[in-house]
Structure 1
Amino acid sequence: MTALHMREGGPNDAPATLDLLDRATQWLVTNGRTGQWGSDPWSSQPASVRRIRRYTQDMTVRIAELDDTVVGVSVLSDQPQPYVAAATEQEMYIRLLVTDRALAGKAIGQALVSDARTQALRRGIGLLRTDCYNGDGALVHHYRKLGFRPTRSILVPTPGTEEPWPCQLLEMRI
């Protein structure tokens, strides 16, 4: 396998991002873990497609590639998700982090987090935050291994359902 290559992304990367999200969702469904994103492909949900298009147009998109194939995507913002209170200092927020599940264990997520740290340092930002699904704790554990520290748990209202989405906020000092 050749070396992982990082590059700046943009609107043209929306289809590849949706493809990774669809495959990650299918992996979650196969493993009985539908609480994170449900069971429908992202590309079949108009609101999700609009969200990814908005992300790739308006935010910093970082692409991980192997042999010119997109194998991971992170979306960075200076603002947290709408359901998260802003930090009391300047921050970089990882709005999305997804990797190719077929390449699990190849440290692609680690490389994207390292790249986010580098992007924050270039901007003089000392706080990197993100959030993730906290239904079974597995993803929180993974983010801890990537260097994040859990800070606060919240329940995010989910339109169309009575069940809120269990969310864990995490941070990393740079």
Structure 2
Amino acid sequence: MRIREGTPNDAPAVLALFDEAVRWLVARGQTGQWGTEPFSAVQARVARAAEWAAGGGLRLACEDEQVVGAIVIGARPDHVSPADRAERYVEALVTSRAHAGRDIGGELLHRAIKETRTAGIPLLRVDCWAGAPSLVAWYERQGFHRSGTFTVRGWHGQVLSMDLP
């Protein structure tokens, strides 16, 4: 597996990963995370994927030429309280469920940590659906700690932080 920078041409691959994840979540009855509609069927999500792909913070995990994971490293979303120091924020992280168990998400997070540390930025934050305790625990196993919560249109989010010395 290799990790490469994304380009504007990668938006369809990002949407495909999210569509696959939504199908998997729906099959498990976890519709509270991202709903039941494919990302590619919601114009706002299609536009957001295009922004991510063109914004410079998209990193893709690839096996051969197949995209098996994506992370977007960028700025804190408006619905999350500001940090007390400079930070980078994981805006999105998604991996192929067909490749589950291979630590693709962990590798992508390690890339984000390395880039943030190399840039001299002391804090990396991420959020996820608070209704998935196993997901929150996964981020904690990666070295993040719980640092806040938020609610947006009934969606409860858990903010997690990692201090980078």
Distance apart, 1:124 and its partner CA: 0.7
What corresponds to 2:96 in structure 1? 100
What corresponds to 1:68 in structure 2? 65
Work out the number of aligned pairs and report it.
164
Distance in 1 (alpha carbons) for counterparts of 2:142 and 2:121: 18
Match of 1:48, SS state, is helix
Structure 1: segments with no counterpart, 5+ residues: 158-163
Match of 1:131, SS state, is strand
Q: In the TM superposition, what whole-angstrom CA distance separates every residue of 1:81-132 from its partner, at most 9, and x where no partner exists?
A: 1211221211110000000111111010110010001110221112110100
Counterpart residue type for residue 58 of structure 1:
G
Report 1:35-54 matches (<5 A).
35-54=32-51
Match of 1:55, SS state, is helix
Distance in 2 (alpha carbons) for counterparts of 1:82 and 1:58: 17
Distance in 1 (alpha carbons) for counterparts of 2:53 and 2:60: 11
Report 1:12-31 matches (<5 A).
12-31=9-28
* TM-score (normalizing by structure 1): 0.91
Counterpart residue type for residue 149 of structure 1:
H
Distance in 2 (alpha carbons) for counterparts of 1:38 and 1:47: 14
Counterpart residue type for residue 105 of structure 1:
G
Distance apart, 1:16 and its partner CA: 0.2
* TM-score (normalizing by structure 2): 0.96
Distance in 2 (alpha carbons) for counterparts of 1:136 and 1:110: 17
What corresponds to 2:105 in structure 1? 109
* Aligned-pair Cα RMSD in Å: 1.0
Q: Identity of paired residues, percent?
A: 41
What corresponds to 1:151 in structure 2? 147
What corresponds to 2:121 in structure 1? 125
Structure 2: segments with no counterpart, 5+ residues: none
Distance apart, 1:156 and its partner CA: 1.4
Residue 159 (structure 2) pairs with residue 169 (structure 1): yes
Distance in 2 (alpha carbons) for counterparts of 1:59 and 1:97: 15
